[in-house]
Structures are given as structure tokens and as C-alpha cells.
Amino acid sequence: MKRYRATIAFVLIVGVLTALGYAAFGPQKATAALLSGLTLAALYFLLGAGLSLIFGLMDVLNFAHGILFMVGAYVGYTVFGNPRLILNTAPLFLALAVGMMAGVRLGRSIPAHRVLPYLLALLGIGVMVWGVWGFPLRPLVAFEPTTAGGAIPTALAQEPLPRMMVRLVQLALAGLLLGPAFARWRREERQTSPWRPVALGVGLAALAVLLLLGRDGLEKFLLGLSVDVRFLLALVAGAATGAALGALVETTLIRPFYGRPVTQIVLTLGLMFAGAELVKFVWGKEGRPPMAVPTAFSRSCRSPNLIAWLTEQCSSIDVLGRAFPTYRLLIIAIGLLILAGVALLLKYSRLGMIVRAGVQDSTMVEALGINVRRVFTTVFALGSALAALGGVVAAPFIGVYPEMGSTFQLQAFIAVVIGGMGSYAGTAVGALVLGLARALGDTLVTTGIALPGMAEALRASPAVARASTVLIMAVVLLVRPAGIFGKSSQ
Amino acid sequence: MALLEVQDIHTFIGQFHILQGVSLEVPEGSITALLGRNGAGKTTTLKSILGLTPPRTGKVIFAGEEIQGRPAYEIASMGIGYVPEHRAIFTNLTVEENLRIAERRRGDLKKRADFIFTLFPDLKRLARLPAGHLSGGQQQMLAIARALVPDNRILLIDEPSEGLAPILIQELMEAIRRLSAEVTVLLVDQNFQMTSRLADRYSMIDDGRTVRSGRMADLLKEPEVIRRYLGAVI
């Protein structure tokens, strides 16, 4: 009995919520609310999974997690609306990476010094700023939600080739200077062929130059891509950006402060604000309308059921006489897919095993000879990638706007707290409970509730819908202080 | 030559100067006991060797290489197995996973399975159970088995008999004696009866300093010393 207490609590909560919905709004509206709730739950889950894993393994409350959700959404949207962005930016990142690889090698061969690497890194940051100074950002981020490339002519969207080449050299130099600061942290114990990194570096450098030289042809190709391909590209670019950003934040900002929770909270909170401002600086204060959806979800018609949708590919589907957007079903599907994928990873992979062990005792994991710091970085990057992916998936649903990060982060935090910090299953459950509560709250606002004997339906203000999630958290925490799936001993 | 040599290490934890000059030698193939009262610094010594609480000064030499100051995972992967006090097994993982996570190369567990399951036959039967469901004695066996999975040359075993019933302690002693045929052991235990019968050599620390070391047989001839530093009567 005791073992199943969490499951029983969860079933009870969801059962009560659903029953309330059906009793108050009737099957039609309640089902619609249920589906909306699942959509929100999928997004909360994508954001919360990383939060929970990162907290469980590293004891870091990452208040900057919402930033990754938002940056993922913005980057995905931008790549979707203006895929030539890749041509303008990828070579720069490649040059930086090549320089960095060489710098790390160099840093390993010169004698260790306390200050020198950091002085060099400071210089490197200077050179990096010099390298990207004056880079034309506006044409890159001006894009339309539906068509590729927007209204910007090619000539305006790209700098002259020689200027870009100079930038490549500058960024490679910046990487070279930054490298030694990272050399100390990443000591390779396994010896591989010394030529492999050299070949990799030369390959990446060649790729950067090739991208630039062939950019005219490639641009035509990229702008001619179909909506579906661009959507996939957006997913990949968003998630990859999230992973890279997460790894960067972990190695540079979080790592020096493990075991100092207050510092971490202040740091990540600051990062949240700084990130939001940075997004406003790059993309502007105004949000964008929802991104276009893949073709399978875009025909303006209503399919009677899912089977019919397979051939008709309508933008909405009939649910008990009401239309429900099919794209939201995709969001739910992606949420479920990631839920299952990460669960399998945790259960059956070696990384998953290490994570589960590390959640309990990361010192002992390290004492077994496992580089637990590297696992931390990997998990941080993975969690960040999930959040960023959530952002991209959300872009056709809610659009993008500079406050989306903090808004969704708050909800994801509540979901994680309800489910039990550090518990993966708990996060999924918390997200579900929260999504349902939110959707029911919204329905309460739009349709009101008619209790028997009342002449007019009682309408709630939108504030009530927003407050409902916090209310649920309060109730859950009063009954189970560690959350539904949390360990009460801790 | 000693497999592991600690030379005058000083370790600080926060403000506290815990180890103020600990030196010891563990010859290859021996069981060496690290003796001392509660709070003398035995556990900190083990953690300092492994790099979990790195010493501020002094040297730790393992198989001829200086290892102090390196990250703990690197030190461990050189072939040092750690069996910490309170076992520190992963209770959420199954028994088998607890062993598999200790693999440094794919197939380590398969190679050592016969040896491990002959020492601890119970574990084979319990392989699929969550390790949290095991009894205290079984958990201790698992913690030692875990350290035997990779090719470790030395095991640092901390308080293995703690909280175990006398009959289990007998069993544990037998297991440690048998595994010491294959791997060197540095053993910390409050139970002097047990350590004195197991160990070939000893090193005694008091208040964070090494005060004596030598052959266990010689120490047993000096009940006065034992009473003074350990409070034990034999």
C-alpha cells in the first residue's frame, strides 16, 4: 500500500480534475480542455525534465532554464523563417571551434599557470567581440512566419566575402586564445591517434570556407526548402543551440560554484534576466505571431477523425463537435516521444545508470572512476536541448515573445515541485496535473461555471486561471511536502 | 616496494586541519590495517588518498606515480577501489547495476563474475533486486563486490564490520581474507579483534598524525600501546 501511495495520489488528483471538468462543463468542453491540458503538459514536461534532472544530479536550481526554452524558440523560428542564417553564422562558429581545439591542445602542452590562461581568455573574448563587431544582425532576424527568407534581398542579407573571411580569421584567433583556459578541465585519459584531431580541425576549417564560398548556390537551395524540411531544420537547430548553450553555461558559470546553492541561484536568476534582455536586443521587444506549421497540419479544413486526417491533412480535427488544432496533437506526440525516449535512456543506457546513481550519491560515482563532471555537462546539455526543443515545438502554438521564457519556466518549476524535485516520473506527472489544471482554469474563465439553481453562469477572471496552478501546488505540498513522487526522507 | 605510499600528508576540511602529517606504506599483496580511535583521521586518510579530500601538502605515491592533486575519478581509474563507510551502494539501482556501473571496460563484470559470486554467493541470487531491499550485511558484501569488478590493484575498505551481527562479521572476514589473495587491501575498522587477525601490517594514527607502524604481530606483543592508542584490550 505504502509503495503505491504516490501513484494513488496521482490517479486521484487527475481523476478529480477530470471529473470536475466533466461535471462543470459537460463532455464537449471538458474533452477540449483535456486535450489543451495535454498540450500544455507536453510543453511543461519538455522544460521540466531538464530542470528536474539537473536538480536531481547536480543540486542546481537552474533559474535560467526558461532562457533555453525561449532561445530555442527564437533560434528555431529564425532558422525556419530565414534558413540562410546558417550560412552566415555557421562558418563563424566553426572557425571559433577550430581555434578553440587548437588552443586546448596548446594549453595542455605549455606548463600550467594560475593566471595566464585567464588573461589569454580575456584577450580572446576581446578578439571575439572584435570579430563579430558590426555583424549585420537585423536582416538575419527579420523574417516572416510563413515564407522563407522574408523580404530581404540577398545582397543585404550577407556581407561581402572578404569581410567574412577576415571575421573567420579573427574568430579562429579568439578561439586559440580562449582554448588554454579550458585545457585544465578537460584532460583526456585515453590516447587516440594524434592525427585525428588535426584532421578534424582541418576538416571543420575547410567546411567553414566551403560554406562561405558556396553560399550563393546554397542560399538558393536553403530558401527553396519546403516548409516541412525547414521545420525539421528548426527543431535540429533549436535543440543543438540549446545543447551548446547549456554546455557552455555549465562549464563556465555553474561548474565553479558546485556546492554553493545561493551563489548558483543568484547567478542563474541573473542569467535569466540578462538572457531576456539579450533576446530583446537581438530580436526586438515585439513578439512574433505563431510560426507556420508543417504541411500535414496546415490545410484549412476539419477532419472528422484521426484516420481521416492521415489523408486529408487538415489543420484541425473534430472532437465531439468542436474543432481541435491537429498541430497540438503533434505537440502531445512529441512530448510523449521524448518522455519515453528519456525514460529508456535512463533505464537502459550506461549514461542513464550513472545518472540514476549520481542522483543518489555523485561522490561515490566519482570514486568508482567515472568522470562525473563530464556527466554533469552532458546532462546539463541534454536538459537544455530538451527545453530548447520545447521552445521550437511551442513556436507554432504560442509564437515567440521575450517573456515566454520566464512564464513557462515558472509553470515548469511548479510542475517539477508538484511531481517531486529530482524524480523523472514525478516531473511527467507534475506536468500533467499542471497542464490539466491550467486548461480547466482557462475554460472556467472563457465559459464560466453554472451551478444548479444559478440563473447566470459564474465567470472567473483570468487571474483565477493563473492562480489555480499555484493553488494546486500549495495543496499538494501541504499533503506531501516533497511532492507526489518525492522522497519524504529528504 | 610499496604499492601505495603516503608521505606526510596534511589535509584540511574547511577551516579544520584534520590530517597533520600522516604517512603510511602498503606493500603489494598485504592487508594493512589503519588503526586509530574515532575521529583520529582514518576515513579522511582514505579520502585523501583517493582525492575526494585532496591533501594540501605531502605526497601520495601509487605504483610509483605521484597521484596527489589529481581528480578523484582519475586516481580511482588507476586501480584503486573504494569501499566507503556506510557502504554507499546505490539503493535505486539493482544489485547487478551496482556491479555493472563499476565497470571501467566493457566486460569487466563478466570477467570477474566467477570470482565475485564465489566470494559472495548471495549476490548472484539477488542480482535483479533493487539494492535498497538488501540487508545490511548483503549491502556490505555488495559494496566490496563493486570494488572488485574493475581491475583494481588495491582496495580501501572503510569500517566494513560496522553495524553487522557477529556471525556476519566472521563471514566478512573470511571474504576479505580470500580476496586479499588477488588484491592488496588497506583496511580501516573499529573492530580490533577482526583487524588484528586479518592484517599483516598496521599503521596507527592519533589526532591526525601517524604515531606507529610496523608488523601486526609485533603490535600484538605490546598491549600497553594498544590500550593507549585504541582503548582496546586484548
How many C-beta neighbours within 10 Å does residue A1 have? 5
List A residues 67-106 in contact with B (Cβ-Cβ < 8 A). Answer: none
**What DSSP string describes B90-116?**
-TTSBHHHHHHTT-SSTTHHHHHHHHH
**Taking CA atoms, what residue in B is nearest to A373?**
B73
Could A360 and B101 be called an inter-chain contact, meaning their C-beta atoms sit closer than 8 Å? no
**Cα–Cα distance measured from residue A413 to residue A404, given in angstroms and rounded to the nearest whole number:** 14
Q: What per-residue confidence (pLDDT) applies to A42?
A: 95
Q: What per-residue confidence (pLDDT) applies to B233?
A: 60
Average of pLDDT values for B173-184?
A: 88
Residue A347 has φ and ψ, to the nearest 5°, of -80, -40
Preferred mutation among A347, A368, A485 to probe B, highest tally of B CBs within 10 A: A368
With 0-12 / 13-18 / 19 or more C-beta atoms within 10 angstroms meaning exposed / middle / buried, residue B193 is middle
pLDDT band at A368 (very low <50, low <70, confident <90, very high): very high
Pairing of strands B184-188, B31-35: parallel
Distance set, CA A278 to CA A274, B181, B209 (Å): 6, 63, 55
User: Is pLDDT of A411 > 50?
Assistant: yes
Q: What per-residue confidence (pLDDT) applies to A398?
A: 92
The lowest-confidence range among A107-121, A198-212, B171-185 is A107-121
3-state secondary structure at position A449: strand
Q: C-alpha grid cell for residue A312?
A: 486529408
| HSE-up (13 A, CA, CB side) for residue B100 | 17
pLDDT tens per residue, range B25-84:
999 888 999 988 888 888 999 999 999 999 999 999 999 888 888 899 999 999 999 999
Nearest to B102 among A189, A360, A368 (CB): A368
Nearest to B72 among A353, A360, A366 (CB): A366
Preferred mutation among B47, B53, B73, B152 to probe A, highest tally of A CBs within 10 A: B73
Closest CA to A149 of A223, A69, A216: A223
Nearest to B101 among A187, A189, A354 (CB): A354
| Contact residues, chain B, for A364 at CB < 8 Å | 82, 84, 88, 90
Tell me the β-bridge partners of B213: B203
Could A367 and B72 be called an inter-chain contact, meaning their C-beta atoms sit closer than 8 Å? yes
The lowest-confidence range among A444-453, B128-137, B218-227 is A444-453
Q: What per-residue confidence (pLDDT) applies to B94?
A: 92
% of chain B exceeding 90 in pLDDT: 33
Residue B117 has φ and ψ, to the nearest 5°, of -75, -20
Work out the minimum CA distance from A57 to partner chain B, whole angstroms: 13
Q: Which residues contact B216 (CB under 8 A, 6 or more apart)?
A: B33, B196, B199, B200, B201, B202
Work out the minimum CA distance from B194 to partner chain A, whole angstroms: 26
**What DSSP string describes A185-223?**
T----S---THHHHHHHHHHHHHHHHHHHTHHHHHHHHH
**Cα–Cα distance measured from residue A74 to residue A391, given in angstroms and rounded to the nearest whole number:** 8
User: Is pLDDT of A294 > 70?
Assistant: yes
Pairing of strands B2-13, B57-62: antiparallel
Q: What per-residue confidence (pLDDT) applies to A242?
A: 95
Nearest to A360 among B91, B100, B150 (CB): B91
Tell me the β-bridge partners of A331: none
Q: Quote the ipTM score.
A: 0.91
Residue B187 near residue B33 (C-beta atoms within 8 A): yes
Could B104 and A369 be called an inter-chain contact, meaning their C-beta atoms sit closer than 8 Å? yes
Average of pLDDT values for A222-234?
A: 89
Work out the minimum CA distance from A3 to partner chain B, whole angstroms: 13
How many C-beta neighbours within 10 Å does residue A361 have? 15
Average of pLDDT values for A302-308?
A: 83
**Residues belonging to chain B with any Cβ–Cβ distance to chain A shorter than 8 Å:** 50, 52, 71-74, 76-77, 82, 84, 88, 90-93, 97, 100-102, 104, 146, 150
Which range of A79-83, A182-186, A316-320, B89-93 scores highest in mean pLDDT? It is B89-93
Is residue A247 less than 8 Å (CB to CB) from chain B?
Answer: no
Preferred mutation among B101, B148, B154, B155 to probe A, highest tally of A CBs within 10 A: B101
Q: What per-residue confidence (pLDDT) applies to A382?
A: 95
Nearest to A367 among B50, B91, B97 (CB): B50
Which of the pair, A396 or A310, is modelled with greater confidence? A396
User: Is pLDDT of A190 > 60?
Assistant: no
Give the ranges where chain B is alpha helix by DSSP (H): 42-50, 72-77, 95-100, 108-119, 121-125, 136-148, 166-179, 192-198, 216-219, 223-230
Q: What per-residue confidence (pLDDT) applies to A451?
A: 60
A-B contacts (CB, under 8 Å): 61
Residue A191 has φ and ψ, to the nearest 5°, of -90, 120
Average of pLDDT values for A223-251?
A: 92
Could A353 and B50 be called an inter-chain contact, meaning their C-beta atoms sit closer than 8 Å? no
Q: What per-residue confidence (pLDDT) applies to A251?
A: 87
Is residue A196 less than 8 Å (CB to CB) from chain B?
Answer: no
pLDDT band at A453 (very low <50, low <70, confident <90, very high): low
User: Is pLDDT of A307 > 90?
Assistant: no
Could B100 and A368 be called an inter-chain contact, meaning their C-beta atoms sit closer than 8 Å? no
**Cα–Cα distance measured from residue B219 to residue B234, given in angstroms and rounded to the nearest whole number:** 11
Q: What per-residue confidence (pLDDT) applies to A489?
A: 45
Q: What per-residue confidence (pLDDT) applies to A379?
A: 94
User: Is pLDDT of A490 > 50?
Assistant: no
End-to-end CA distance of chain A: 21
Average of pLDDT values for A343-349?
A: 93
- Averaged pLDDT of chain A: 85
Which of the pair, A333 or B229, is modelled with greater confidence? A333
- In eight-state DSSP terms, residue B40 is S
Tell me the β-bridge partners of B31: B185
Give the ranges where A214-251 is alpha helix by DSSP (H): 215-223, 227-249
| Contact residues, chain A, for B102 at CB < 8 Å | 368-369
**Cα–Cα distance measured from residue A32 to residue A20, given in angstroms and rounded to the nearest whole number:** 14
- In eight-state DSSP terms, residue A486 is S
pLDDT tens per residue, range B183-208:
999 999 888 888 888 899 999 898 88
Nearest to B101 among A189, A353, A359 (CB): A353
**Cα–Cα distance measured from residue B61 to residue B68, given in angstroms and rounded to the nearest whole number:** 8
Residue B187 has φ and ψ, to the nearest 5°, of -115, 130
